[in-house]
Chains A and B, each alone.
Chain A
Amino acid sequence: MRAILLHLHPVRVSEQSIRFNRTFGLGGMAALLILIQLITGILLRFYYTPVPSEAYNSVVFTRTQVLFGQFVRNIHYWSGVFLLLVAFLHFLRVFLTGAYRDTRKINWLFGLFLLVLIVLLNFTGYLLPWDQLAYWAITVSTNIIGYFPLIGESLRTAVLAGNELNAETLRTFFTFHTAVLPFLLLLLVMYHFWRVRKAGGIMLPVSAEKGEMVPSMPNLVFKEFIVALVLIAVLFTFSVFFNAPLLEKANPAYSLNPTKAPWYFAGVQELLMHFHPFFAAFIIPVGVVVFLAWIPYAKYDVPANGHWFISPAGKKSSADTARFSAIITIAGILFNEYILNFETMLSPVPAFISNGILPMLILAGFMAAYYKYYLKKLSLPKAETVQAVFVFITVSFIVLTIVGIFFRGKDMALAFPWNV
């Protein structure tokens, strides 16, 4: 046991790098959650039948007839949710401490790919219970794919293995969820860890003194042990008190009102309420991904220093941008919902222009004005400008997701969370 632990860690680590609030242990938590997912996933597979006529019954059977069935299913569900959240926070921490440059460039890209894999794992798992929630959420999400230009419709039918959800879809999703994706995830996670070691451990602020080198055992290992125990305690408590959702069996003839995409796509779905699908489902998401992949390869004038938000000025510009982003996103949603609906107002104009190009231009105008009259005046170094854009996108995405999950009620109209 000791040998394995020491094989995973360097023998000695800098005292500086193992302070909890340096990383909040997020990467380690993600690794532990993946392990828990594997174990509970394997357990659930012993009772699950990936056939539409049987799938739902087998889940109900697991819940009601199997000792600890409900509990294991809950752990699997909640660790999936936690994993996505933890991975997202990890991604924020890595960016905001500047740990994506020089030798870490490749690892940033692999990290992004891991995030995508985790989303796909969540997504393919969402269908498996074959209840109303699963059926309609996957229907709606796969129809969003259909709006990609040119390849959209064929990609959608390829994902579904047909024109709508069928037995083939379930079998494909099951194979990806329980074989292809976990295998890829494990391989890439190992590589991801190895690259961190190759980069000389985690990113440290340049100003911090190197600190004493201390043996990993017990200094680092004990800290990890405590984080793991707390995480498991929280996860199990959650799983005792909150059941993973399961509605009635899927019924293709009857849609839920409202039908929502899975929660991590709620932001995209919220965008779809305001923009023509070509922009909401394609231009904006692809633009964001390209931007994220470009970040480590941009030319920066100052080397990364490992400080949160780079500098006090960076901290201030980030905070202001976060506020600006939250306000403009909320204002945009309310404005489009209650005051101005371009699509109905300008009905003779094609929706592509009235509901796509026009609102995009308005949004771009606001952003340009913000850049010109505020950000530019601060004459920030490039890394801090990129950081401001990153903060803008992230905050806007979080706000859209929260609105999509908690503030959309019947007929997808805006409503307060207690009425949803």
Chain B
Amino acid sequence: MKKLQNKDKKPVPVKTEPINRRDFFNKAWKGLGILAGIEVIAMLGGFMFSGKPKNNPVNKQLLEAGLVDTFAKNSVSAFMGGRFFLARQSDGGFIALSLRCTHLGCSIAWEEDKKRFICPCHSSAFDISGEVLNPPAARALDYYPVIIENNMVKVDIGTLVERSSFKKDQLQYA
């Protein structure tokens, strides 16, 4: 819209149609409709998600695995109830490995003769520290923090730690 066609001429005021009653109500209904829509969506969202269990890994859940000396060095003990393997490395360090394969979530199994974890689904393999020996898995096994108090090994099964590879400081010593 050209407001000014010539500097000499006076500016032409822009004509606006005065809003009539019908327009007003049409707009008002539309606005109310949108508002109602938003309310319904918010209500649905609130309904759907507020009742779901919170995925809060903060709560500590300690499971007593046993006395330090009951676990031989370079050995693996399964705790199926806690969904982990307690692996004691050859240097005496403890790590509690999740039994969930990092590829597609199948349950791994420990092969004592080959000293490795094997996933039956797609044959990923992991060593005793959870490090990947054979793809398709791309990450080392997740682990639960181990706490050793008064010679007792405890595993915090409320906190799952993800990692890309094995590092020495993930081990706990008595």
Which one of B12-20, B60-68, B118-126 contacts A? B118-126
**Is there contact, CB below 8 Å, between B52 and A161?**
yes
The complex places the Cα of A161 from the Cα of B104 at a distance, in Å, of: 17
Which residues of chain B in 88-105 are interfacial with respect to chain A, using CB atoms and an 8 Å cutoff?
Answer: 99-100, 103-105
Contact A411/B120 with A161-B52, A253-B80, A351-B138 known, Cβ cut-off 8 Å:
yes
Which of chain B's residues have a CB closer than 8 A to the CB of A351? 135, 138
Cα separation A256 to B119 with both chains bound (whole Å):
10
Contacts of A139 in B (CB 8 A): 104-106
| Contacts A140-B106, A157-B55; A164 near B121 (Cβ below 8 A) | no
Measured as residues with beta carbon below 8 angstroms from the partner, the interface class of chain A is 20 to 34
- Judge whether B53 and A143 touch: CB under 8 Å: no
Interchain CB contact under 8 A, B121 and A140: yes
Report yes or no: A259 in contact with B106, Cβ–Cβ below 8 A: yes
Within 8 A of B (CB), among A231-270: 252-259
- Point out the residues of chain B lying under 8 angstroms from A202, CB to CB: none
B136 within 8 A of partner (CB)? yes
> What residues of chain A lie closer than 8 Å to B172, measured between beta carbons?
none
Q: How far is the CB of A398 from chain B (nearest CB, A)?
A: 23
Q: Is B105 within 8 A of A164, CB to CB?
A: yes
Q: Which residues of B contact A162 (CB under 8 A)?
A: 53, 55
Q: Are B121 and A168 in contact (CB under 8 A)?
A: no
| Assembly CA distance A168 to B53 (angstroms) | 9
Say yes or no: is B107 at the interface (Cβ < 8 Å to chain A): yes
Indicate the member of B80, B99, B119, B120 with the most A CB atoms within 10 Å: B120
CB distance from A403 to the nearest CB of B (A): 15
Q: Are A136 and B122 in contact (CB under 8 A)?
A: no
Residues in chain A within 8 A of chain B (CB atoms): 136, 139-140, 142-144, 157, 161-164, 168, 252-259, 272-273, 343-344, 351, 411-413
Can you identify 28 A-B contacts, CB atoms within 8 angstroms? A136-B106, A139-B105, A140-B104, A140-B105, A142-B105, A143-B103, A143-B104, A161-B52, A162-B53, A162-B55, A168-B52, A252-B107, A253-B80, A253-B83, A254-B107, A255-B108, A256-B120, A257-B121, A259-B104, A259-B120, A259-B122, A273-B122, A273-B136, A411-B122, A411-B123, A412-B121, A412-B122, A412-B123
Which B residues lie at the A interface, using CB under 8 A? Answer: 52-53, 55, 80, 83, 99-100, 103-109, 119-123, 135-136, 138, 160
